[in-house]
């Protein structure tokens, strides 16, 4: 009995310490506002829109200390619309993120599940629509300020399923990441696969990042990863409706090379990003409506953006960005170009709540992927019926 009591006390102490070193955190964000579009399929439109700067979400993340500097981690995060209460990401409960893994300060982090791609982790922060890190009011350019159709996925529109991701520790500001997504197709290991690599540097006022990614059968492996997406056996296989590149969804592969950076000078942050996107071997994947122009070959897009955010006062941030997208010719299609300006003002009511006013203007020219005269297509809005489109968004964002 004398020996048993100390052992019980020691065990209770150990359990208490282990519990104290584990935690689960609930968190979320709600973003809602009003949007005006000058041309939505031919008419002006006023509407309540959700997730204008950032997608509304709720989630939980946890960590357990396993000892020796090793931690078990997990994250479950789902999107929703505060305008009507529906789930985001095609109805997925945890459509934004869902992963589990191990993390070590000495050896890095290994995770498995539904995750962001390397470009989203290392380059997207230099795009105005997804700006973070170097600015006070983050993602100030809004989801409408993304590059046309978010074809480079720098606005994180497309999460990647069935992934294994490794992120290295940071060494004097340098770190790297690799990701592989399993296609899961019996008899064809490479079908619907996606892989990518990225590296970055962040130290003081300077941040840099670059990434390379390649997705096989992108209509399904990249653009079709939500529960509501069409499968290869669907009678309507198209998973991206934007005319910017919907005509190229029969591509055998999608390839991305992207790089960006930001530099903070006092209250100003100057950023920029370049992306080269290729829809390779167009016409090699069959499916209803995937190749309306009966095209073959490779369609290439070059995208450049420069942006500036300035903190006028501790409570007021202003931002301006310009992006230019140029598509190459393929077959009988001469290619299209898209010029876009983003203007934004954020007023911080607190560290967790801000008001925002954003304006976007886009002009299109040339011939788009569908073989028609290109129309303005501001991301996440109904396409214009002409070559110009303007949107104005006002709303409130709150984190909890």
Q: Which domains does the chain have, with CATH numbers?
A: 24-399 (2.40.160.10)
- Apex 389 CA angle, 384 and 393, nearest 5: 110
d(CA 268, CA 284): 47
Q: Per-residue pLDDT tens for 104-128?
A: 999 999 999 999 999 999 999 999 9
d(CA 262, CA 266): 13
Q: Per-residue pLDDT tens for 148-194?
A: 999 999 999 999 999 999 999 999 999 999 999 998 777 777 889 99
Task: Give pLDDT < 70 ranges for the chain.
Answer: 1-20
Provide the whole-model pTM.
0.92
Q: What's residue 16's pLDDT?
A: 42
Q: What's residue 11's pLDDT?
A: 36
């Amino acid at each position: 009995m004398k020996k048993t009591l100390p052992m019980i006390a020691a065990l209770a102490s150990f359990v208490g310490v282990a519990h104290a070193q584990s935690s689960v955190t609930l968190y979320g964000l709600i973003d809602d506002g009003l949007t005006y579009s000058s041309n939505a399929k031919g008419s002006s439109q006023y509407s309540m829109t959700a997730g204008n700067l950032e997608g509304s979400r709720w989630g939980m993340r946890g960590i357990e200390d396993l000892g020796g500097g090793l931690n078990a981690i997990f994250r479950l995060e789902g999107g929703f619309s505060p305008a009507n209460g529906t789930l985001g990401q095609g109805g997925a409960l945890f459509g934004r993120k869902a992963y589990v893994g191990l993390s070590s300060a000495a050896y890095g982090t290994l995770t498995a599940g539904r995750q962001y791609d390397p470009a989203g982790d290392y380059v997207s922060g230099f795009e105005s629509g997804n700006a973070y890190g170097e600015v006070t009011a983050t993602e100030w350019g809004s989801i409408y300020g993304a590059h046309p159709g978010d074809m480079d996925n720098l606005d994180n529109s497309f999460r990647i399923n069935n992934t294994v991701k490794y992120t290295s520790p940071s060494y004097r500001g340098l770190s790297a990441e690799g990701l592989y997504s399993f296609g899961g197709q019996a008899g064809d290991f490479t079908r619907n696969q996606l892989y990518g690599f990225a590296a970055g540097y962040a130290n003081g006022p300077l941040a840099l990042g670059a990434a390379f990614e390649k997705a096989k059968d992108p209509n399904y492996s990249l653009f079709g990863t939500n529960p509501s997406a069409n499968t290869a056996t669907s009678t309507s296989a198209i998973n991206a409706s934007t005319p910017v590149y919907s005509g190229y969804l029969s591509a055998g592969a999608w390839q991305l090379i992207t790089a960006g950076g930001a530099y903070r000078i006092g209250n100003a942050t100057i950023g920029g990003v370049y992306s080269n996107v290729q829809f390779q071997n167009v016409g090699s994947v069959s499916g209803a409506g995937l190749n309306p122009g009966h095209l073959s070959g490779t369609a290439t897009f070059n995208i450049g953006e420069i942006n500036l955010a300035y903190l006028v006062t501790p409570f007021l941030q202003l931002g301006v960005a310009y992006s230019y997208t140029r598509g190459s010719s393929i077959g009988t299609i001469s290619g299209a170009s898209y010029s876009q300006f983003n203007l934004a003002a954020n007023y911080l009511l607190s560290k967790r709540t801000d008001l925002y006013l954003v304006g976007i203007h886009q002009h299109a020219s040339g011939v788009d992927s569908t073989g028609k005269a290109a129309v303005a297509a501001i991301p996440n809005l109904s396409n214009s019926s002409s070559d110009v489109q303007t949107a104005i968004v006002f709303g409130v964002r709150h984190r909890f």
